[in-house]
Structures are given as C-alpha cells and as structure tokens.
C-alpha cells in the first residue's frame, strides 16, 4: 500500500486518522497488515490484504476476512486488536451488493486484461475512450488528486495516472484484485475496496472524480452522485457516465431479458454470453447488427455482453434527469456528451462516403437509440 493514501482517508466510524501497521510483504512487494484508527475511544481497524485496504462490512468480505483473521491472529493481538472488533455493519442494499460482488467480481477476474491487451479493446483504444467518457483532458488531471469511482480492472486508473498526482481507484468486488495486479507498479495509483455510499475518503479531499458505467448499478445513482460530490474540493469536478434510456421497445425487451439473466448462475451467464456473441457475429455478416441494436443490446465483445446482462440492477437515465441532479446540488454543468455519435471500434474504413453514410444513419436513429449519458459538473 502506498503511504500517501493516508493523507486522504479516515476511519469510517469516527472520522479519525488511520495508521498503517504492516504484518508482512511478499516477493512482489504486496503487503498485508491493518489500518488502525488513532482515536483512543474508537480503535477500529481495517484489513490491508495484498496491498489493498478493505473498507467493507464483514459480511461482504466474509471469506477474505476469516482467512486474514486466522492467519494474522497473533499480529492482531500484538496490536491489541480483537478480530471481532471489526464491526462495520451493512445496510438495506446489502443483498444487492452481495450479488454485485459475485457477478462483477467474476467478470473482472475473468476479463482482467480487458482494456489492456485485448485485440480490439486494448490500451491504445481505451485512451480515447477514457478521455471521452470522463470528459477529462490531460490538463484537467495535471497535479490533481483523482478518484476512479468503480475502477473495475483499473484500466482507466492507468490513463488518469499519466497526468494526475495521485489516483485512487475504488471498487466493491474482486475487481480490486485485477486492478491492483494491473496498477500496483504505478507509484501514484492506489486501489481500495469500498462502497461508494460509504467511502473512507476525507471530505473535500479530491480535485476530480469520474465514474464510468458504474452508478446505475448501485441501486440509487442519484444518491451515489450526492455522496461522491461531498468528497470534492471547491472547484473540483465530477463526471458521471450512465446508461441512457432507449425507445420503449428497447426498454421492454431489455427488462424482459434481464429479468432472466439476473437470476442466472455464473455458469449459465457464461453460456448466455457465448450465444449472444455468436448472434452478434451472424448479425454483422448480414448487416443487421445496427438495426437489431435499436431493440436489443447485442454488444461486440463477450465482456461487454456479460457486463450488460449480469448486473443485478441497471437503471437507465436521461440528460435532463442528470442535469437536474446537479442543479439541485447547485453544481453548474461544465460539459456533456449530449449529441455525440460514436461509431465504435468495429467500423474500420477509409471510405469517406461510407463514413458519412453511417453517420447520417446514426443521426436519424439517434432519438430512439440507447445513448449513454455523460455529464461533468463543478463544485462551487
């Protein structure tokens, strides 16, 4: 764990400062230890497992917590810490969070290199995606403290770190393992496991926050936005990128399919993903993929398909709705992607006429397509 993180985090219980006690370090430099609250009346502690601080209720990280407590029982006693004193409690969304951890945890371990060295969705491709979806350019990040809220496998942390002073990536599930594996050699990136609704970050500690394709899976994207905004400094910015609301036929079929997929086991979801990907390939060959995507989501990569249909909850939003959230927070909107048309990675042509034709068709169908909602706002 990078010690600079201590400047930005606090005890979840009493908001006291935290101190790192290291138990051991493995050959790759990853540490195991605890973060201990320095408030004498509190003394809460939080495990650091493989250099990732864990700020979740015990029930959400039951296996990791049990293994850690057993392995380091003697060290905990030397620090005058009782294993049972780790008492973070859950909330009314705990069941949703458990399923989210299960499905997305599997996803980011299975697709741990998506966005890094995938044949199409590779590191170079993801640079443009990051800047478009975060609405942040290199100058916006320069010498800043940045939060990736829902970092997945850490691919966007990588690009933020190119210019930012410090980047903190947080995720709810086992994606933190992949994110840490992919970024732990970057001195200015630190991954933590935590809950967007209850982050251990100090108020007004961040210059910029981006959350790309995450908040619609939380159960309350609006409240998540409010919570994140509290961590911003004055003149700090937050960008949220959410699923957009499609036409009524699209929304009907999407809800119908997801009603089944969200109840599937991981094994069945994998089978479903493979079948949908085969369907995608067939539709591409007969030039019907764009038309079908007006009514059913059929993504161009197995990871994207799994991600879409495995999420236990996925709310769809509009620009007017999200702008209202920021208006209520008295945060002016600086920039959006409203009206931006993205061709996608599979369209590769030097034929200008073909590109113009594709863009013209997309402009016609834009009002009924499910367009993502991306909004960047500033804290006064």
Share of the chain above pLDDT 70, in %: 90
Confidence class of residue 360 from pLDDT cuts 50, 70 and 90? low
CA dihedral 93, 95, 98, 103 (to 10 degrees): -100
Q: Which residue did the predictor score with more confidence, 323 or 41?
A: 323
On whether the CB atoms of residues 117 and 144 are closer than 8 A, the answer is no
* 153, pLDDT greater than 90: yes
Which of 104, 371, 103 minimizes the C-alpha distance to 250? Answer: 371
Classify the C-alpha dihedral 304-305-309-310 as positive or negative. Answer: negative
Residues paired with 167 in a beta bridge: 146, 189
CB atoms within 10 A of CB 345: 15
Give the Cα separation of 62 and 37 in Å (integer): 21
Of 19-28, 47-56, 317-326, least confident by mean pLDDT is 19-28
Find the mean pLDDT for residues 172-199: 95
Find the mean pLDDT for residues 202-231: 97
Give the Cα separation of 101 and 69 in Å (integer): 21
Quote the mean pLDDT of the chain.
89
Of 28-42, 158-172, 316-330, least confident by mean pLDDT is 28-42
SS3 (DSSP) at 284: helix
pLDDT single digits (tens) 25-74: 988 888 999 999 999 888 889 999 999 999 998 778 878 888 998 999 99
Confidence class of residue 362 from pLDDT cuts 50, 70 and 90? low
Confidence class of residue 358 from pLDDT cuts 50, 70 and 90? low
The predicted pLDDT at position 258 comes to: 96
For the record, the structure tokens of 173 come out as 């599930």
Find the mean pLDDT for residues 10-34: 92
For the record, the structure tokens of 296 come out as 């059913």
The predicted pLDDT at position 375 comes to: 97
Confidence class of residue 176 from pLDDT cuts 50, 70 and 90? very high
Find the mean pLDDT for residues 86-115: 82
Q: How many Cα atoms are found within 13 Å in the side-chain-facing hemisphere of 368?
A: 14
* 200, pLDDT greater than 50: yes
For the record, the structure tokens of 230 come out as 């509290």
The predicted pLDDT at position 350 comes to: 47
* 346, pLDDT greater than 50: no
CB-based burial label for 262 (10 Å; 0-12, 13-18, 19+): middle
* 89, pLDDT greater than 80: no
Give the Cα separation of 1 and 184 in Å (integer): 9
DSSP 8-state code for residue 148: E
Beta strands 232-242 and 206-212 are parallel
Q: Which helix (H) or strand (E) holds 335?
A: strand 333-336
pLDDT single digits (tens) 297-307: 999 999 999 99
The predicted pLDDT at position 188 comes to: 98
Give the Cα separation of 157 and 187 in Å (integer): 12
Q: How many Cα atoms are found within 13 Å in the side-chain-facing hemisphere of 150?
A: 23
* 343, pLDDT greater than 90: no
Which of 52, 158, 173, 168 minimizes the C-alpha distance to 115? Answer: 158
* 246, pLDDT greater than 80: yes
The predicted pLDDT at position 325 comes to: 98
Beta strands 189-194 and 166-171 are parallel
Total residue count of the chain as it appears in this document? 380
The predicted pLDDT at position 81 comes to: 87
Residue whose entry in the numeric block shows the structure tokens 């006064």: 380
SS3 helix, strand, coil % of the chain, rounded to 5? 45, 20, 35
CB-based burial label for 196 (10 Å; 0-12, 13-18, 19+): buried
Find the mean pLDDT for residues 196-208: 96
Find the mean pLDDT for residues 152-162: 96
Which of 202, 149, 147, 139 minimizes the C-alpha distance to 171? Answer: 149
Q: How many Cα atoms are found within 13 Å in the side-chain-facing hemisphere of 369?
A: 21
Q: What is the pTM of this model?
A: 0.91
* 354, pLDDT greater than 60: no
* 352, pLDDT greater than 70: no
* 231, pLDDT greater than 60: yes
CA dihedral 25, 29, 30, 33 (to 10 degrees): 30
């Amino acid at each position: 764990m990078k010690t600079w993180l201590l400047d930005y985090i606090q005890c979840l219980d009493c908001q006291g400062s935290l101190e790192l006690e290291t138990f051991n370090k493995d050959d790759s430099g990853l540490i195991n230890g605890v973060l201990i609250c320095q408030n004498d009346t509190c003394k809460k502690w939080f495990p650091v497992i493989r250099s990732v601080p864990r700020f979740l209720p015990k029930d959400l990280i039951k296996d990791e917590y049990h293994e850690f407590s057993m392995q380091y029982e003697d060290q905990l006693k030397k620090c005058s810490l009782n294993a049972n004193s780790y008492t973070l409690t859950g909330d009314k969304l705990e069941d949703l969070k458990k399923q989210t951890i299960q499905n997305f945890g599997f996803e980011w371990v299975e697709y741990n290199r998506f966005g890094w060295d995938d044949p199409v969705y590779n590191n170079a491709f993801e640079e443009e995606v990051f800047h478009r979806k975060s609405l942040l350019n290199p100058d916006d990040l320069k010498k800043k403290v940045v939060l990736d809220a829902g970092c997945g496998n850490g691919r966007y942390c990588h690009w933020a770190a190119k210019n930012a002073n410090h980047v903190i990536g947080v995720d709810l599930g086992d994606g933190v393992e992949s994110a840490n594996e992919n970024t732990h050699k970057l001195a200015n990136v630190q991954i933590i496991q935590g809950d967007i609704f209850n982050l251990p970050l100090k108020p007004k500690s961040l210059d910029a926050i981006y959350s790309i394709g995450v908040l619609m899976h939380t159960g309350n994207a609006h409240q998540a936005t409010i919570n994140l905004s509290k961590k911003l400094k004055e003149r700090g910015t937050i960008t949220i990128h959410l699923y957009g609301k499609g036409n009524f036929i699209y929304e009907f079929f999407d809800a119908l399919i997801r009603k089944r997929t969200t109840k599937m086991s991981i094994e069945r979801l994998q089978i479903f993903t493979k079948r949908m990907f085969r369907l995608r390939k067939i539709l591409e060959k007969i030039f019907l993929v764009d038309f079908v995507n007006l009514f059913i989501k059929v993504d161009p990569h197995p990871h994207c398909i799994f991600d879409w249909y495995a999420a236990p909850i996925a709310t769809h939003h509009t620009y007017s709705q999200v702008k209202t959230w920021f208006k209520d927070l008295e945060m002016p909107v600086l920039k959006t992607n409203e009206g931006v048309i993205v061709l996608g990675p599979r369209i590769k042509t030097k034929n200008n006429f073909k590109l113009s034709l594709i863009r013209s068709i997309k402009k016609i169908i834009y009002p009924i397509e499910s367009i993502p909602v991306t909004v960047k706002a500033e804290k006064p």
